[in-house]
Structure 1
Amino acid sequence: MDMGLTLIHWTYVLFIFLIIGFMVKRLDTTILCIVGIFLVSFIAHPSLPNAISNVFNSFIYAITELLPTILIICIIVAMSKSLTATGIHDTMISPFAKLIRTPTLAYWITGILMMSISYFFWPSPAVALIGAILLPIALRVGLPAMGVAVAMNLFGHGIALSGDFVIQAAPKLTGDAAGIPVHEVIQASVPLVITMGVVTTFTAFFLLKRDLKLGKISVEHPSANNAQTHGQLLSKKTNIIMAAIIPLLFIIDIFLMFKLNLQGSDATALVGGTALFILLAIALLGHKRKGLEKTTSYLVDGFQFGFKVFGPVIPIAAFFYLGDAGFTTIVGDYLPQDSNGIVNDLGAALSASVPLTKEVAAVTLTAVGAITGLDGSGFSGISLVGSIAKIFAASIDGSIATLTALGQIAGIWVGGGTIIPWALIPAAAICNVSPFELARRNLLPVGIGLVVTTIVAIILM
């Protein structure tokens, strides 16, 4: 590599490899990220108090950058809980139940509905929204609980979460790390998300049908325990009206996004504001005099969920923000005068010394994305793939957006809830199946999907 790289650069590279190694070993990376931030800061400016302070400052920087994303998730989850408590989600989904007549329809309707709701509510809340309603229906027509779990997993935690076209949390993380706008990541990810989604869902469906014929999977019979009852918080008429208005409001949001060209933080703010007003309306209508207290209660639940999900992301995001504009803000102007940031410097050095091809770059991004997903988060490592995509794109003069989207898809499909057993718990729990068995059933479809998607990415580059 270019010998102009400093000890700061080499230390940063060392910790990137250490973080990957920790993820492969399924070890938590929080302490490693903190140590990395401390050492990079200390090497840049040898002052112990300053280096210690910069660790804290890096967390503030990361939280500031991630706050809109964290906030939208908190509000969406809070709204989802109010929908569940009032039974509105039952009414919203009930028309689809009339369409489910066969196991095939049960698989695809469950999956497509899960994907549609996940784009707005994210998969974990969506599992709670539709699982308890559609599971008994699917069992009644002959689709086993494992098939329901697979459909919800692949369509929700796979397709919807890896693309994340509405809330845009994932493309914002990868786009920030890669130094490109959110809309470029989304645009590049569309054909890859479609490819990955089609390959995995059809493969899983055919394997499921095969095992049903061979008797490897048994169909359970629905019981009364599957039913979920709600208190009469709303009248039937009000429930139906709200169930119609809520999807309409989000459809209007999507129309406004296209009409007003709202993307990234602007689109997130529109969805978040809409969800917040829906939450207020439901709480006041459903709980009457207790509406004020219940609004706060729902929000508290949402914030607990949001920070629990994004807590592991903050330390690793703080470390990777050092690789770009965050270095000057957090540490200070201690890089060489001709430096364009640690990651850009590494990209220039790599492009000058290591001959890469499109094929090698694409395969590497898929592998790194999958490895970073091994922690079961799906989000904690996608900042890394964005940074690596930036390095590789400079080296091969290829599409940084395509590489970034590819790494994002691999990371979220593996870690977001389709392969890692402890990330599968919501869908596995609602369907009463083993998360380890669900992970094993997803492994082959997801593996085939990643191979095909990587090939498509190479062609698009």
Structure 2
Amino acid sequence: MAIQLCSLHYIYLLLIIIIFIFMVLKKDITVLCMLGIFILGLTATGSIPTAITGVFNSFILAINELLGTILIVSVITAMGVILNKTGINKAMVQPFTKFIKTPTLAYWIIGIFMMIISLFFWPSPAVALIGAMLVPAALEAGLPALGAAVAMNLFGHGIALSGDFVIQGAPKLTADAAGIPVGKVVSASIPLVAVMSIVTTVIAFIMIKKDMSSGKLSIDKKDLKFDDEDTHEFKDLLSEKAKKMFALIIMLMFAFDIYLMYKLNLQGGDATALIGGTALVILVIITMYVKKKEASSLIISYIVDGFVFGFKVFGPVIPIAAFFYLGDLGFIKVFGEVLPKGSTGLVNDLGLALASTVPINAPIGATTLTTVGIITGLDGSGFSGISLAGSVAKIFGTALQRGTATLTALGQISAIWVGGGTIIPWALIPVAAICKVDPFELAKRNLKPVAIGLIVTTIFAMFLI
């Protein structure tokens, strides 16, 4: 039986609807979420000072929940700095360039390698790495720059980021908002990511080959410069043999991490800690090897660079996540025991109320979560609104009494494929810039495969709920 709803429930629901509208209108929702926290606090306690402090305390709650994710992204970025400066990153991909002989091989090799790198380093550093080494080789093999950009987008910002199986930043956000373990979201997302991946990449490849045959897509090699040698300031301190040795060691270390994650069944924070610890070890070893006396100060400098990047990425997410964490028992942590007796959180209560008044089924739930994901991705940041997807998934999962993990994964996948960097032009700028293509043309090229993929994946999810 559903708990008696109070004004807090209706205000929270109204705020979610307003956030939806703002996202559709492509307006920033950060200030709105902060205002929403204040309104909820004022309604719950009747005290302006308590409501004000509640905004700050909700930020602390969100940061505590996200700190592990922020830390892993920062550490991996710090490691990427030294790999780039020494040129080891080039050595890591060099063996793969000799296999790129045809446009078909170029598309799939670039895509798969982008996906692998993105799983461990996220797409941002992977873009520069792939652009520097594999895109020129793809052009030589006959794949147009736009085709290479499509492969990088779909495999990196689509497949790797939407599943985020290694770093688990996205599953952490959605799982927390849905009130379920990270492992459940990861497991539920595997079949959905697989279906989405196959549909989008195959359709995109067919379209590229068709347009190449008709002459709509052609190669323009002039003015293409993919690597800035100035960034490799330590490149002469390592011999080519040393670079290859370190590249092999790094790949073996991360491969061993994957083995340990499987063997020891490490998920969530444990898996993140293993990857982060490995990245720190790599950072320290390489820096000490190339700059012995200056190593200590340089390591700190790279870690600071990593944190600057990490908080730059997650800074806009924290106020938004803070609002949606209040939908669970986080509300009690921030404002005290102010919810009605027997309440298990605002979102849970709404879900139970919905179950008793509205007929809900799997098709409606799946379609709604895909729509929520698409809307939250319209701002061009796949992460800013996925907490909302988790909250909505919890409402429908509670109403259905099943399928919360699948619905959460579906909302996460939809949001990141749309906003993470595949069909929103301003989110495509990094890839478009590195490949020297128009971001709007790239977005247009990705739109059809991604749209078809979302439709097929949503239908598939209906049978899993």
TM-score under structure 1 normalisation?
A: 0.98
Task: Tell me the C-alpha RMSD between the 2 structures.
Answer: 1.4
- After superposition, the C-alpha distances for 1:223-276 in whole angstroms (9 at most, x for unaligned) are 673354333131222211101000100111111111112110011011001001
Structure 2 counterparts to residues 230-245 of structure 1, below 5 A? 230=232, 231-245=235-249
- After superposition, the C-alpha distances for 1:302-350 in whole angstroms (9 at most, x for unaligned) are 1111111111110010000111021110111001112111011000000
Give, as a single letter, the amino acid of the residue that structure 2 aligns with 1:266: D
Greater shift after overlay, 178-187 or 105-114?
Answer: 178-187
* Separation in 2, partners of 1:301, 1:50: 36
Structure 2 counterparts to residues 76-87 of structure 1, below 5 A? 76-87=76-87
Give, as a single letter, the amino acid of the residue that structure 1 aligns with 2:340: P
Give, as a single letter, the amino acid of the residue that structure 2 aligns with 1:66: L
Q: List, as ranges, runs of 4+ consecutive aligned residues in structure 1 with deviation greater than 4 Å.
A: none
1:9 matches 2:13: no
Partner of 1:195: 195
Give, as a single letter, the amino acid of the residue that structure 2 aligns with 1:210: K
Contact in 2 for aligned 1:69/1:169 (Cα 8 Å): yes
Partner of 1:313: 317
Give, as a single letter, the amino acid of the residue that structure 2 aligns with 1:174: T
* Separation in 2, partners of 1:22, 1:224: 39
Structure 2 counterparts to residues 28-427 of structure 1, below 5 A? 28-221=28-221, 225-229=225-229, 230=232, 231-427=235-431
Contact in 2 for aligned 1:157/1:416 (Cα 8 Å): yes
Contact in 2 for aligned 1:366/1:454 (Cα 8 Å): yes
Would you say how many aligned residue pairs link Structure 1 and Structure 2?
Answer: 461
Q: Note the C-alpha offset of 1:128.
A: 1.3
- After superposition, the C-alpha distances for 1:346-383 in whole angstroms (9 at most, x for unaligned) are 00000000111211110010000010011111011111
Q: Note the C-alpha offset of 1:88.
A: 0.5
* Separation in 1, partners of 2:81, 2:114: 16
* Separation in 2, partners of 1:390, 1:223: 50
Q: Note the C-alpha offset of 1:3.
A: 8.4
2:450 to 443, 446, 453: 446
Q: Note the C-alpha offset of 1:81.
A: 1.6
Contact in 1 for aligned 2:226/2:434 (Cα 8 Å): no
Contact in 2 for aligned 1:80/1:129 (Cα 8 Å): no
* Separation in 1, partners of 2:398, 2:304: 44
* Separation in 2, partners of 1:362, 1:10: 24
Q: Note the C-alpha offset of 1:448.
A: 0.2
* Separation in 2, partners of 1:3, 1:97: 61
Greater shift after overlay, 323-332 or 211-220?
Answer: 211-220
Contact in 2 for aligned 1:348/1:394 (Cα 8 Å): yes
Greater shift after overlay, 163-172 or 285-294?
Answer: 285-294
Contact in 1 for aligned 2:373/2:412 (Cα 8 Å): yes
Contact in 1 for aligned 2:145/2:435 (Cα 8 Å): yes
For 2:142, what is the secondary structure of its paired residue?
Answer: coil
For 1:379, what is the secondary structure of its paired residue?
Answer: coil
Contact in 2 for aligned 1:45/1:334 (Cα 8 Å): yes
The 1:143–1:224 alpha-carbon spacing in structure 2 relative to 1, beyond 3 Å, is closer
Give, as a single letter, the amino acid of the residue that structure 1 aligns with 2:344: N
Contact in 2 for aligned 1:200/1:448 (Cα 8 Å): yes
For 1:418, what is the secondary structure of its paired residue?
Answer: coil
Give, as a single letter, the amino acid of the residue that structure 2 aligns with 1:260: L
Greater shift after overlay, 435-444 or 212-221?
Answer: 212-221
Q: Note the C-alpha offset of 1:300.
A: 1.8
* Separation in 2, partners of 1:425, 1:149: 11
Contact in 1 for aligned 2:3/2:352 (Cα 8 Å): no
Q: Note the C-alpha offset of 1:4.
A: 1.9
Greater shift after overlay, 12-21 or 281-290?
Answer: 281-290
Contact in 1 for aligned 2:432/2:438 (Cα 8 Å): yes
- After superposition, the C-alpha distances for 1:57-79 in whole angstroms (9 at most, x for unaligned) are 00011001100000100111111
For 2:261, what is the secondary structure of its paired residue?
Answer: helix
The 1:327–1:431 alpha-carbon spacing in structure 2 relative to 1, beyond 3 Å, is same
Structure 2 counterparts to residues 423-442 of structure 1, below 5 A? 423-442=427-446
- After superposition, the C-alpha distances for 1:87-132 in whole angstroms (9 at most, x for unaligned) are 1011110110010100000000000000011110001111112211
Q: Note the C-alpha offset of 1:434.
A: 1.3
The 1:33–1:238 alpha-carbon spacing in structure 2 relative to 1, beyond 3 Å, is same
Greater shift after overlay, 196-205 or 291-300?
Answer: 291-300
Identity over aligned residues, as a percent?
62
* Separation in 1, partners of 2:212, 2:454: 25
Greater shift after overlay, 390-399 or 16-25?
Answer: 390-399
Give, as a single letter, the amino acid of the residue that structure 2 aligns with 1:120: F
Give, as a single letter, the amino acid of the residue that structure 2 aligns with 1:388: V
Contact in 1 for aligned 2:226/2:435 (Cα 8 Å): no
Q: Which structure 2 residue ranges, 5 or more long, are not aligned?
A: none
Greater shift after overlay, 268-277 or 279-288?
Answer: 279-288
Contact in 2 for aligned 1:189/1:405 (Cα 8 Å): yes
Q: Note the C-alpha offset of 1:159.
A: 0.2
